[in-house]
């Protein structure tokens, strides 16, 4: 089957910006398919984006709030109109199911519309006065905001940063993840096309681009979603000019099962909470605490439900889970299972294909923060969760 390959350029000051260097995004479910060729930005591109955003800020912040809100609503409509064409692209580049990609876009649109809808009352001036004092409260924009976003749920997570920043009078530069930049960049370009020049800019690239953005003296706010290791560098760079920083990092979320539960009643929802997006989301369940009195029934029921999962390509209607996103994720899972074997953990259950790890000591590290993943390759399927006895 012939597949299309998108060329994805940067967007700065309401203009397409090409590059002398493009990198390939391959379909995690079909590694021979090139989904997109993405422009790799440079330090100069990052500086250009900051300067454009700063110039735009000087006008954007003075715009009547209702006009700003209407423009952000119009941008949300552009994103909504792009769902039919960009959802399949997102599924192909990040490994998720088509339904998950559509949900990501739907959440993104809803977040943007909701934020714009409540912005009017929030931005209204407030005066508190009595016989002894008068207090006036004004919401003042900060300036240029940099949003650094991940690949696992890129549309919704970007809109959580974009919508509040723009309606409050800030301008924005988005740096997508290099593991899933195509659909997000193209969607943002659609949104930016109805906004004034420089209000929304998109720069793809490596660490040098990110560092230029986080260190630039004209950037006044950084919003980062990703791993703790990278967050340390973001904080250090922001400290040089005392920028405001918001960090959304990984989670280590347990599910606590009570002894009056019927495992069959909760298992479908629990398994979704573990394996949605192949377990590659920060709030996925990583560890389950189960009372001994219902442990055997719980474990057997979980095996049955997990066995119904069908791993496949995100555009295959038969699939209920997609592959992991990238080589690093794949190696993470492989290393994780090596750790389990070295720890001599009981892997009774679905060993050959779908694997549920039981009897895990509460002190055992299971590969860091994200312990639940799927893997789709020529060797078959792997599912893993950890179940601890209490």
**What residues act catalytically?**
248, 282
**Residue written as tokens 């591109």?**
45
DSSP output for 309-360: --B--TT-TT-SB---SSHHHHHHHHHHHHHHHHTT----S--SSS--EES-
Name the CA radius of gyration of the chain, rounded: 23
Tokens coding 130: 């009595």
DSSP output for 62-118: TS-HHHHHHHHHHHHHHHHHTHHHHHHHHHHHH---HHHHHHHHHHHHHHHHHHHHH
Tokens coding 279: 């377990």
Q: Which of 113, 48, 54 is nearest to 79 (CA)?
A: 113
Question: What does the chain come to in residues?
Answer: 390
DSSP-derived letter for residue 14 is T
Q: Number of helices and strands (H, E) in the chain?
A: 11, 18
């Amino acid at each position: 089957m012939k597949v299309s390959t998108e060329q994805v350029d940067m967007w700065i000051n309401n203009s397409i910006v090409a590059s002398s260097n493009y990198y390939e995004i391959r379909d995690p479910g079909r590694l021979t398919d090139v989904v997109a060729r993405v422009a790799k930005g440079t330090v100069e591109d990052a500086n250009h984006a900051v300067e454009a955003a700063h110039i735009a800020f000087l006008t954007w912040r003075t715009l009547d709030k209702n006009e700003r809100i209407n423009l952000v609503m119009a941008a949300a409509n552009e994103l909504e109109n792009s769902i039919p064409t960009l959802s399949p692209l997102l599924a192909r580049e990040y490994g998720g199911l088509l339904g998950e990609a559509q949900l990501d876009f739907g959440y993104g649109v809803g977040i943007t519309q909701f934020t714009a809808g409540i912005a009017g009352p929030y931005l209204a001036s407030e005066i508190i006065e009595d016989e002894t004092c008068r207090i006036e409260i004004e919401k003042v924009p900060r300036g240029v905001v940099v949003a650094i976003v991940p690949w696992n749920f890129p549309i919704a997570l970007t809109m959580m940063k974009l919508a509040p920043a723009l309606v409050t009078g800030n301008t924005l530069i988005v740096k997508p993840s290099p593991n899933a930049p195509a659909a997000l960049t193209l969607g943002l370009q659609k949104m930016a096309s109805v906004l004034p020049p420089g209000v929304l800019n998109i720069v793809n690239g490596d660490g040098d681009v990110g560092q230029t953005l986080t260190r630039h003296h004209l950037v006044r706010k950084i919003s980062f979603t990703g791993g703790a290791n990278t967050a340390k560098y973001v904080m250090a760079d922001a400290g040089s000019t005392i920028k405001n920083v918001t960090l959304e990092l990984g989670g280590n979320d347990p599910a606590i099962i009570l002894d009056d539960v019927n495992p069959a009643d909760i298992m479908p929802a629990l398994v979704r909470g573990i394996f949605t997006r192949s377990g590659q989301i920060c709030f996925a369940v990583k560890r389950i605490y189960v009372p001994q009195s219902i442990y055997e029934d719980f474990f057997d029921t979980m095996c049955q439900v997990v066995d119904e999962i069908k791993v496949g390509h995100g555009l295959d209607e038969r699939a209920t889970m997609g592959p992991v996103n990238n080589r690093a994720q794949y190696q993470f899972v492989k290393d994780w299972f090596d750790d389990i074997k070295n720890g001599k953990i009981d892997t009774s259950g679905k060993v050959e294909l779908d694997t549920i790890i039981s009897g895990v000591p509460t002190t055992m590290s299971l590969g860091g923060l994200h312990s639940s993943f799927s893997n789709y390759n020529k060797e078959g399927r792997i599912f893993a969760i950890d179940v601890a006895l209490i």
